[in-house]
Structure 1
Amino acid sequence: MSKVSKTDWDRLAAQGDQDIDKSDIPELGEDFFRQADLRVPVKQAVTIRLDADVLTWFKAQGSGYQTRINQLLRQYMQAHQR
Structure 2
Amino acid sequence: MTISRKRLEELENIPESAIDTSDIPELDANFWPKAKFVTPLTKQAISLRVDSDVLDWFKSQGKGYQSLMNAVLRSYVEHHIKKNHEV
Q: Indicate the residue corresponding to 2:42 in structure 1.
A: 42
Letter matched to residue 20 of structure 2: Q
Q: Distance in 2 between matches of 1:67 and 1:18?
A: 29
Structure 2 unaligned spans of 5+: 1-17, 83-87
Stretches of 4+ aligned residues off by more than 6 angstroms: none
Q: Distance in 1 between matches of 2:73 and 2:58?
A: 13
Q: Indicate the residue corresponding to 1:20 in structure 2.
A: 22
Structure 1 unaligned spans of 5+: 1-15
Q: Distance in 2 between matches of 1:52 and 1:72?
A: 17
Alignment of 1:1-82 (within 5 A): 17-18=19-20, 20=22, 22=24, 25-27=25-27, 37=37, 39-82=39-82
Q: Distance in 2 between matches of 1:58 and 1:21?
A: 34
SS at match of 1:62: coil
Counterparts in 2 of 1:21 and 1:46: CA distance versus 1, 3 Å: closer
Q: TM-score, normalised by structure 2?
A: 0.55
1:19-54 C-alpha deviation (Å, 9 max, x unpaired): 7355xx2247xxx7xxx8562211111111000000
**Higher RCO (CA < 8 A, seq sep 6+):** 2
